[in-house]
Amino acid sequence: MRIVRICSVFVLLLSFACKSEKTSDTIADVKIFNVANEDDRKEFSVLKLDDTHVNLLNPTISKDGFEAIYKSWSQFHYDLNDFLTSKNFTWGVDDENIKLFNRIYFTKEGKVKAYAYRVYNQVGKEKTEEYGKVIGDFLKSKQISLTRDVAFAQCGKMSLPNSIKRQEL
């Protein structure tokens, strides 16, 4: 009977130990927000992510210099463009470039926690929503090549080449 109790306690402790090894690096789903959509914008603002995520360009957390940040941020966007191309994603417009605003919230390990975006070109609602789904797939496995002591965020405008125009070349 004593051996059974010891084994039970051991199994219980082992199960707790396995659970405690999970860190904030494990994210079930990346939250995606199209801030041009009123419902998404409201849901996004309720989270108050800016209160819990410092700006990546804040010199107090980015002591290793802006060159590493620029390189990582650029690579992240190149990878995004490659992913969109690999998924044959098209915007359904003739514009040569697609301009977007994005704000990305990261765990301190560099994994994406939330992504807010707005498409500035006059693309259809369906394409804007489809972009949200495709970017969600991309962000589930992609992270930025930076880590920090605290959760961080970065925002900016970007211009993606329109894959329809590239296919014409």
Residue 129 CB coordination number (10 Å): 14
pLDDT-derived band at 12, boundaries 50, 70, 90: very low
Number of domains forming the structure of the chain = 1
Cβ pair 151, 52 in contact under 8 A: yes
Residue 17 lies in a domain: no
What count of residues does the chain have?
A: 169
- Predicted TM-score (pTM) of the model is 0.77
More reliable by pLDDT, 105 or 165: 105
pLDDT for the residue numbered 106: 93
Q: Which residues of 87-126 are buried (b: 16+ CB within 10 A; e: fewer)?
A: eebbbebeeeebebebbbbbbbbbbbbbbbbbbebebeee
For the chain, the average pLDDT equals 80
Residue 27 to residue 31: CA distance in whole angstroms: 10
Q: What is the mean pLDDT of residues 100-121?
A: 95
pLDDT at 105: 96
Residue 21 lies in a domain: no
Tell me, what's the pLDDT at 61? 66
Domain for residue 22, yes or no? Answer: no
Q: What is the rounded CA–CA span in Å between residue 121 and residue 113? A: 26
Query: Which is more confident, 24 or 167?
Result: 167
Question: Is 60 among the domain residues?
Answer: yes
Residue 137 has pLDDT above 70, yes or no: yes
| Whether the predicted pLDDT of 86 surpasses 80 | yes
Structure confidence by residue, pLDDT tens digits, 42-58: 999 999 999 999 988 87
Q: Is residue 107 in a domain?
A: yes
* Band of pLDDT at residue 62, cut at 50, 70 and 90: low
Q: Is residue 7 part of a domain?
A: no
| Amino acid in position 71 | K
Nearest to 51, CA basis, from 157, 149, 152: 152
The answer to whether residue 13 sits within a structural domain is no
- For 64-117, the DSSP string reads T-HHHHHHHHHHHHHHHHHHHHHTT---SS--SEEEEEEEEEE-TTSBEEEEEE
Which residue range is the domain that position 42 belongs to?
27-168
In a domain, 1, yes or no: no
- pLDDT above 50 (res 167): no
